[in-house]
């Protein structure tokens, strides 16, 4: 089977997909992106991802939007063509190519739209079963983290530093000493009093789609989420911690800066949240993630 991708309305073999080196996404990271999880051959929360994509484009004043129905259809066609049962679809939209290099954005953009799909295990993975180790890293990103732009050098450096220190991910810490988010995820803690805490939405963090979904599933259970900031020290003293993102889903954090969080194992609240979210996306938990009940 030849892997398929999508470039500006055309489906092509992925290894033959090409974009101009003069594309502003390449020259300036003048582009936005989305990563949509796929489970059971279906895109998860696709409408919310498309909403966020459009918001990012509008915030950056692109002046044009890709056709939403065409993007949705491209997701479904790529999932089918690449036989993706579990994995993700990546979408990127840049301001386009103009044959030169000019910092000033063009008045009439010629958007470049690129999508590809990839198989990847999401639920039954070591990070979900056993948890991850995290280290704190200074947050050096630009001021509009709520826009899902492709300028990801700061997270690349943070995650690379985490790996060099024997950890799986980084938690980014602002100049105020408070956690903003993880390298590519939202950060959460569960206090010893059972309070579920994550940072409130602002320009400082990305409005995560999985984060949004957890508000829904927990509300259905009558569970409240507290939106406020917290420090590394409070997180280290918490009962539990976890990350959420489109690909990691719900990943327990069991160690932070070399210190165990809680028991040093995924805690009962995190396990319950994993179970609720897995069920919400249509997973048969007893078959694919029986460890959430341990």
Active-site residue set: 148
CA distance 21 to 217: 43
CA 61/CA 131 separation, integer angstroms: 39
Query: d(Cα 29, Cα 188) in Å, to the nearest integer?
Result: 29
Residue among 143, 165, 139 nearest 255 (CA): 165
Residues 6 or more apart in contact with residue 82 via CB below 8 angstroms = 1, 3, 4, 117, 118, 119
State how far the Cα of 261 lies from the Cα of 270, in Å rounded to an integer: 12
CB within 8 A of 211, min separation 6: which ones?
186, 198, 244
Q: What 3-state DSSP class applies to 238?
A: coil
């Amino acid at each position: 089977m030849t892997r398929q991708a999508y470039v500006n309305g055309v489906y092509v073999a992925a290894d033959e997909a090409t974009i101009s080196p003069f594309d502003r996404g390449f020259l300036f990271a003048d582009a936005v992106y989305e990563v949509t999880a796929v489970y059971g051959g279906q895109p998860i929360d696709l409408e919310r991802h498309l909403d966020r994509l459009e918001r990012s484009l509008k915030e950056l004043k692109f002046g044009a939007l890709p056709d939403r129905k065409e993007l949705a259809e491209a997701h479904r066609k790529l999932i089918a063509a690449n036989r993706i049962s579990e994995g993700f679809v990546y979408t990127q939209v840049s301001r386009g190519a103009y044959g030169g290099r000019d910092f000033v954005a063009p008045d009439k953009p010629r958007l470049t739209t690129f999508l590809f799909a990839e198989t990847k295990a999401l639920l039954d993975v070591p990070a979900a079963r056993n948890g991850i180790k995290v280290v704190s890293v200074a947050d050096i990103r630009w001021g509009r983290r709520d826009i899902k732009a492709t300028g990801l050098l700061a997270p690349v450096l943070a995650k690379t530093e985490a790996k060099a220190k024997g950890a799986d991910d980084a938690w980014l810490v602002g100049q105020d000493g408070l956690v903003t988010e993880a390298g590519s995820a939202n950060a959460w803690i569960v206090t010893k009093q059972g309070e579920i805490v994550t940072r409130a939405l602002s320009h400082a963090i990305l409005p995560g789609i999985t984060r949004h979904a957890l508000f829904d599933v927990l509300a259905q259970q009558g569970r409240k989420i507290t939106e406020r900031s917290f420090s590394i020290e409070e997180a280290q003293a918490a009962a539990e911690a976890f990350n959420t993102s489109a690909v990691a889903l719900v990943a327990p954090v069991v160690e932070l800066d070399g210190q165990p969080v809680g028991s040093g194992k995924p805690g009962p609240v995190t396990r319950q949240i994993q179970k609720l979210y897995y069920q919400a996306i249509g997973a048969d938990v007893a078959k694919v993630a029986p460890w959430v009940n341990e």
